[in-house]
Amino acid sequence: MSRQVDRESLTLITGAAQGIGGATARHFDTLGARLALNDREASPALAALCAATDAVAAPADITSRDDIRSMIATLTSQHGPIGTLVCNAAYMTMAPFLEHEPGDWWKIIDTNAAGTLRVIQEVLPSMRSLGGGRIVVVCSYWGLTGWPDASAYAASKAGLISLVKTLGRELAPEGIVVNGIAPGVTATPQLEVDARAAGLSVAEMHRQYAAGIPLGRIAHADEIAAGIAFLADRRLGAMIGTVLNVNGGEVRARA
């Protein structure tokens, strides 16, 4: 494999303590990236992953502008500018639309859509100081298709797809390349949460999802990580505002 990610400036991954974010941290570490790993709080899991990947821990809640600002200020003053950003942090609960408590419904939008926007806004000066950068936003195929009982999550991810397209256009002239990835169902701790909520075993949850996937299985988190690294490849400057589908063939449509 000849993947060429940024090895000089800092790579910031949000929501990195577990799941797709954690797999992405480990994958970028093998590619030689200098990592800063964000999660909502300084958990033992985040500390362990930072130790394993020689990364800087960057805890911050992306629903708080102040938290993000102070995280970025600390990172850039101590470790230099951020050239690559992977926006992965997300929050999800599922419920039928009218039964979904409005505060929780809006927390999903505020975390996934607004939180991602805030992080990008605060990282842009860093990328501008470098004369360019790579931003990869983790969307979801549910943002394309919608999904029953996931109105807030699907809306937040659809919003991110539009954000990727818009910022792709807006920032490309500055050499800041923005793309997204739309994972299909992936084996992560979130899926275990969903299984519990649905009263199913994890194995049964996997089986139900796999039944709708032409490849016959759900994704491994490191398959999503490999897609994120591809989108962050420094050799690619003409791939702009795209959303890479990594869903085992469940959805074959242009995001």
Partner 1 sequence: MSTSPITETTSRVAFVTGAASGIGASVTRLLRASGYRVTGFDLRRGEADLNIIGDVTDPAGVAEAVAQTQERFGSLDVVVSVAGHYEMLPVDAISDADWLRMINVHLGGLTTLLRCALPGMLERRSGRIIAVTSELAIGGGDHDAHYATAKGSIIGFVRSLAVELAAKGVLVNAVAPGPCDTPLLAADSPWRDRAYLDTLPARRLANPEEIAVAVEFLASEASFCVGEVISINSGAVI
Helix 189-198 with 202-210: angle, nearest 10 deg: 100
Q: State the minimum distance, in angstroms, from the CB of residue 145 to partner 1.
A: 14
CA distance 183 to 129: 31
Between CA 234 and CA 51 the distance in angstroms is: 26
Q: What tokens appear for 72 in the block? A: 């970025």
Closer Cβ to partner 1, 76 or 242, answer by number: 242
Q: Token pair of 25, please?
A: 């941290």
Are the C-beta atoms of 143 and 161 separated by less than 8 Å?
A: yes
Residue 102 interacts with partner 1 (CB under 8 A)? no
CA–CA distance, 58 with 43 (Å, rounded to integer) = 11
Tell whether residue 32 is a contact of partner 1 (CB under 8 A).
no
Per-position x/- string for 198-227, each x denoting binding to partner 1 as judged by CB under 8 A, each - no binding:
----------------xxx--xxxxxx-xx
Taken in order 217, 218, 221, 225, the sign of the CA dihedral is: positive
* Nearer to partner 1 among residue 44 and residue 254 (C-beta): 254
Q: Does 86 bind partner 1 (CB under 8 A)?
A: no
Measured from the CB of residue 238, what is the shortest distance to partner 1 in angstroms?
4
**Residue 230 found at the interface with partner 1 (CB under 8 A):** yes
Shortest Cβ distance from residue 127 to partner 1 (Å)? 16
Q: Residue 252, interface with partner 1 (CB under 8 A)?
A: yes
Q: Are 68 and 118 in contact (CB under 8 A)?
A: yes
Which residue type, as a one-letter code, is found at position 150? Answer: A
Q: Is 233 in the site for partner 1 (CB under 8 A)?
A: yes
Task: Write out the binding residues for partner 1, residues 152-171 only, by CB under 8 A.
Answer: 165, 168-170
Of 19 and 83, nearer to partner 1 (C-beta) is: 19
**Catalytic (active site) residue 153:** yes
Q: How many residues bind partner 1 (CB under 8 A)?
A: 39
Q: Are 222 and 27 within 8 A, CB to CB?
A: yes
At 119, which amino acid appears?
V
- Beta carbon of residue 230, minimum distance to partner 1 (angstroms, whole number): 5
- R_g (Cα) of the chain, nearest Å: 17
Residue 14 phi, psi dihedral angles, 5° rounding: -90, 150
Q: How far apart are the first and last CA of the chain?
A: 27
Nearer to partner 1 by Cβ, of 13 and 221: the residue is 221
**Closest C-alpha to 127, from 89, 155, 159, 85:** 85
Cβ 166 to partner 1 shortest distance, Å: 9
The active-site residue, picked from 91, 141, 153, 209, is 153
**CB closer to partner 1 out of 71 and 228:** 228
Active site residues: 153
**Interface residues with partner 1 (CB under 8 A)?**
1-2, 165, 168-170, 172-173, 184, 187, 214-216, 219-224, 226-227, 230, 233, 235-242, 244-249, 252, 254
